[in-house]
Amino acid sequence: MAPQRGGRPHGDRQRRHRDGRSEATGPGIPEALLERIFDRFVRADGARSRSTGGSGLGLSITREIVEAHGGRVWAESTPGVGSAFSMGFPARRGTGEPEG
């Protein structure tokens, strides 16, 4: 999968250590929604019913936990191909390893 750039990490990306990435095939996320996908109750399918999926809280909770540890999260997506979700954390000085 070659995702388009979407929601970008906040802060100076050169000083971040990319620590995790998850990719999934599927319908993808429209470009206009990528910047909001980590907001509470936002779902890529636009549905509000729990019968068709989750509550729209998972990515918001993920962002809050990652940011509480000094990290950032972002999403990339290609509609009709799939999406990728990444997180990065500040590197320890001189080691390139995540803090904590």
pLDDT in tens, 9-25: 444 445 546 688 999 99
pTM, rounded to two decimals: 0.66
DSSP H or E run through 20: strand 16-25
Instruction: Tell whether the model's pLDDT for residue 3 goes beyond 60.
Output: no
Q: Is 15-90 in CATH node 3.40.830.10? A: no
pLDDT tens figures, 28-48:
998 888 989 999 988 877 665
Q: How far apart are CA 27 and CA 40, in angstroms?
A: 21
Q: Between 71 and 50, where is the model more confident? A: 71
Q: How far apart are CA 66 and CA 57, in angstroms?
A: 14
